[in-house]
Amino acid sequence: MTENIYSKLVPEPTPDSMPYWKGLNEGRLLLQECARCWRVRHYPRPVCDACHSFETRWIEASGQGAIHSWTITHHPFHDGYRSDLPYTLVTVDLEEGVRMLARLHAPVDTRLDIGMPVRLVVERAKPGLTLPGFVLAAPATDMSAPSSGER
């Protein structure tokens, strides 16, 4: 019997990031917000960068943003990604005021511009692990990542 083994690097959730990963598993992007100064932060961490408070609450993000920068990856940083090459990584300025790095689900020859609107999609990598990604914004409401045949 052949076992389906996920060969890519897997994030290691911490107590501080667990709500973020749980939210992605539910198809929602959750961001930390300081309960004292209201600053939103990403990636999750225990202390606010602005006021050093440990008081945190979670807010649901819109998943909408704009491309800040991008790179096309041609060389795998880990053998598990070799079959995905080439692929595009984008840094996105989310509407909530934080930046997020994730894969862009679009052909690598797609013309991209700084400021181009994108929206969040979630991709079930394996049971219990959902990863964030982005697609170019369109008037669709589907939050699932495109199938590999659509990339």
Peptide bond into 87 cis (omega under 30): no
pLDDT tens across 76-123, in order?
A: 888 888 988 999 999 999 999 999 999 999 999 999 999 999 999 999
Instruction: Report whether pLDDT(151) > 50.
Output: no
Instruction: Report whether pLDDT(65) > 80.
Output: yes
Extents of the domains making up the chain = 13-60, 62-139
Among left, alpha and beta (phi > 0; psi -120 to 50; other), residue 54 is alpha
Q: What percentage of residues in the chain have a pLDDT greater than 90? A: 74
Is residue 118 a contact partner of residue 137, using CB atoms and an 8 Å limit?
A: yes
pTM greater than the 0.75 cutoff: yes
Q: Is 103 helix (H, G, I), strand (E, B) or coil?
A: strand
Instruction: Report whether pLDDT(145) > 80.
Output: no
Report the pLDDT value the prediction gives residue 2, as an integer from 0 to 100: 44
Place of tokens 């019997």: 1
- CB burial of 38-50 (b: ≥16 within 10 Å; e: otherwise) equals eeebbebeeebee
As assigned by CATH, the class of the 62-139 domain is mainly beta
Mean pLDDT of 51-69: 98
Strand partners, 44: none
